[in-house]
Amino acid sequence: MKTLLIYDIEKDKIRNKIFQACKDYGLQHIQYSAFFGELNTNRREELRQRMRRILGDSVGKIYFFPICDKDLRLATQVINTSELPIGEIEETND
């Protein structure tokens, strides 16, 4: 199942370890504190436990959002990049 993982971690050292753990599990870095990718229930739980160990007593929040294929097909995006003329917005509904 696809999984969206977002986090808010204060300490750089902890945040870097969280970042690396996401990469180790094959998740794609999609925003500053957000990753997305395929994780089955067992792998998601393994990663959650790893995150808990990394976070320890440090201040922070980590959210896992499993997303089924049906709901993923309903996802939309608005992208405005420097490659587009100023003011032009690309809208997709893939």
69-73, 76-80, 87-91: which range is least confident on average? 87-91
Residues 25 and 39: their CA atoms lie apart, in Å, by: 8
Matching residue, tokens 């790893």? 50
pTM: 0.81
Q: Provide the annotated binding site for Mg(2+).
A: 8
CA atoms within 13 A on the CB side of 74: 4
Residue 84 has pLDDT above 60, yes or no: no
pLDDT tens-digit series, residues 1-50: 999 999 999 999 999 999 999 999 999 999 999 999 999 999 999 999 99
Q: Provide the annotated binding site.
A: 8
Question: Can you give the residue ranges of every domain in the chain?
Answer: 2-78
In this structure, whether the domain defined by 2-78 belongs to CATH 3.30.70.240 is answered with: yes
